[in-house]
Amino acid sequence: MDDETGRLKKSFESYLERALPGEGAPEALTLFESIRYTLETPGKRVRPVLLLLACKAAGTDEGEAMPYACAIEFIHNYSLIHDDLPAMDNDDMRRGKLTNHKVFGEAMAVLAGDGLLSAAFELMHEDYIKHSDDAEALKKRIRAGTAIAEGCGTAGMVAGQSADIEAEGNPVSAGLLDYIHSRKTAALIRSAVRAGAIIGGACDRAVRALTEYGENLGLAFQITDDILDYGSEEGKATYPAVHGLGESCARLEELTARAIAAAESAEGTDARYIEILTEFARSLARRTV
């Protein structure tokens, strides 16, 4: 991780701590213990950092985008809590710790996820209100919020998770696999980059280029996960299961190259942050965990 990415992550962590739900609630209320348990587990913070980098690439201070970076991390963590439930992926461990429902019970895990999703939209709407006297600033923020909503809903992550559940144990076509991956994982990553570019004030062509970067990066991210899990995901819809390991590695290289090319084509952006975004893509493709 380069110094600037590390700085943005540290700045985000500080903001996240202040934005955590639960202010004014009884100190030991289990709901907020459950939320903190998942949110405070060390993670890569890929989505919020990408959102902040895109905002910086567009030439705007990251503070303008913090509510949206935090919102997308809330949404991501809500999805992890729900994905781990027995009715979904039925996982006992996450990031080296017991999953949320194993510690707090299934009902509380459902509520923690629900609470995080609601809190994400509260954060964004509070920021809309803050900028309601500035039509141009408000328009950018509504566009960014819409991008995030599309990424996490029935046009994005929820649809991908649904298709993934229905595909489990059944033959999966290449087309269905692309549908699952482009929505379950790539949609929220694409939305993070797009929202950051919009908040940052990038021109429409640069927003489209950075959105393309996010789309390709998101698919590459999921294929890397599939490759790392190769042999341990019986019955799951993965790239190696459908295409084989060799073709999956080739597809990963292709998507990474396309992400880099898209970022480099984003006109009117800060070259330093574009270079950070391109290196981010390379490092995600090389990761081993």
CATH code for the domain in which residue 92 is found: 1.10.600.10
Distance CA(103)–CA(108), nearest Å, equals 9
Provide the domain count of the chain.
1
What pLDDT was estimated at residue 20?
A: 92
What contacts 167, CB < 8 A, 6 or more positions away?
A: 176, 180, 237
Burial environment of residue 151 by CB neighbours within 10 A (0 to 12, 13 to 18, 19 or more): buried
What pLDDT was estimated at residue 1?
A: 63
**pLDDT tens, residue order, the chain (289 aa):** 689 999 999 999 999 999 999 877 766 689 999 999 999 987 899 999 999 999 999 999 999 999 999 999 999 999 999 999 999 999 999 988 999 999 999 999 999 999 999 999 999 999 999 999 999 999 999 999 999 999 999 999 999 999 999 998 888 999 999 999 999 999 999 999 999 999 999 999 999 999 999 999 999 999 999 999 887 777 788 999 999 999 999 999 999 999 999 999 999 999 999 999 999 999 999 998 8
What pLDDT was estimated at residue 232?
A: 76
CA angle 151–157–159, rounded 5-degree value: 115
Nearest to 219 by CA among 174, 166, 165, 169: 174
Q: Which bin fits 42, alpha (ψ -120 to 50), beta or left (φ > 0)? A: beta
What pLDDT was estimated at residue 41?
A: 86
Distance CA(31)–CA(242), nearest Å, equals 40
* Partners of residue 98 on adjacent β-strands: 93
DSSP strand E in the chain: where? 93-94, 97-98
| Cβ atoms within 10 Å of 32's Cβ, excluding its own | 18
Domain that holds residue 212: 3-286
What pLDDT was estimated at residue 2?
A: 82
Distance CA(19)–CA(155), nearest Å, equals 27
Amino acid at 82: H
What pLDDT was estimated at residue 217?
A: 98
